[in-house]
Amino acid sequence: MKASLRFIRNMASTTFAICALTGSAQEVAWRETRAISAPEAHQAAAAKGEHVYAISSRVVAKYERSSGKRVALSSGKAKHLNSGFFWNEKLYCAHSNYPSTPERSQIMVLDPDLMQLTVYKDFGDSGGSLTWAIRRDGYWWCNFAYYGEDNHRTYLVKYDKEWKELARWTYPPSVIQQLGRYSLSGGIWHGEDLLVTGHDDPISFRLRIPKSGSVLEFMEKQSAPFSGQGIAFDPVTDGLIGIHRAKRKIVFAETGK
């Protein structure tokens, strides 16, 4: 009996050790807590205070958080808006001319009171198409995506306030292999790590800036209620906001096992 108990304890310890190494024991699941119908929920969503925003390729729609009622649509010319990020009370959207070539990428900015889209930063042809841009600690972090057989060339750039490139990283094969012919559509800082999303799978990848080298470190894969595309931090719930593209919904999510 004692030998059997020792065997069971040893097996349990071994299983725990394996799970800890693979990250499965600590894997985070994001669960849907609410959804708002939004025809514009095609590329991404963002949130600020009493309003949430659905982002399509050409327009941004403003919705009341409480009622789910659409209250405004953006004006201004856009071709392929991607994810959105709030900074200094304004919404900054990654924008490109995808699928046209040569590629041209921009950050467009939306004043949520005027609902006017204008160009904030024009990268011209930087290689790839800008799919998300976020700011942290005085730096801009911008993701330029490639597709098809070239999607392994997708890269993340860190810029200073003068838009001087300070560093760039590519993504680990373990992430790229799960994207098919698509690329990475969304990204945010979550603590000290990056959470990035693909094109249509209900998962996110937790990554880390490496201490050395030019390839981001893969930490774990997380389940999520978003069908890929752009995600954002929700300052009201401290959770995430994203979209379900097929159902045209803005989706709120919080962590849960």
What is the CA 5 to chain-centroid distance, rounded? 46
Those residues whose C-beta lies under 8 Å from the C-beta of residue 17, and which sit 6 or more positions away, are: none
Q: Which residue's structure tokens are 């998300």?
A: 132
Q: How far apart are CA 199 and CA 129, in angstroms?
A: 14
Burial class (CB in 10 A: 0-12, 13-18, 19+), 61: buried
Residue 197 has pLDDT above 60, yes or no: yes
- Strand 30-37's sheet: what is its strand order? 30-37, 249-255, 239-244, 232-234
Q: How confident is the model at residue 24 (pLDDT cuts 50, 70, 90)?
A: very low
Give residue 96's pLDDT. 97
Give residue 228's pLDDT. 80
Residue 225 has pLDDT above 60, yes or no: yes
Q: How far apart are CA 202 and CA 226, in angstroms?
A: 5
Residue 15 has pLDDT above 50, yes or no: no
Contact 147, 181 (CB under 8 A): yes
What are the two backbone dihedrals, phi and then psi, of residue 243, each rounded to the nearest 5 degrees?
Answer: -135, 160
Domain ranges (residues) in the chain: 33-255
Give residue 256's pLDDT. 67
In terms of phi and psi (left: phi > 0; alpha: psi -120 to 50; beta: otherwise), the region of 191 is left
The whole-number average pLDDT for the span 54-83 is: 97
Q: What is the mean pLDDT of the chain?
A: 90
Q: What is the DSSP letter of 24?
A: G
Residue 23 has pLDDT above 50, yes or no: no
Those residues whose C-beta lies under 8 Å from the C-beta of residue 98, and which sit 6 or more positions away, are: 79, 80, 129
Quick: pLDDT tens for 114-173: 999 999 999 999 999 999 999 999 999 999 999 999 999 999 999 999 999 999 999 999
Q: How far apart are CA 230 and CA 222, in angstroms?
A: 15
More confident residue, 25 or 148: 148
For strands 80-87 and 70-73, give the pairing: unpaired
Residue 26 has pLDDT above 70, yes or no: no
Share of the chain above pLDDT 90, in %: 87
Q: How confident is the model at residue 18 (pLDDT cuts 50, 70, 90)?
A: very low
Cβ-based neighbour number of residue 27 at 10 Å: 14
**Coil, strand or helix: which one is 75?**
strand
Query: What is the rounded (10 degree) CA torsion for 213, 186, 201, 207?
Result: 30
* CATH 1.10.1740.10 is right for the domain spanning 33-255: no
What is the CA 187 to chain-centroid distance, rounded? 3
Those residues whose C-beta lies under 8 Å from the C-beta of residue 27, and which sit 6 or more positions away, are: 220, 221, 222, 223
The whole-number average pLDDT for the span 162-191 is: 97
Q: How far apart are CA 30 and CA 139, in angstroms?
A: 28
The whole-number average pLDDT for the span 22-39 is: 77
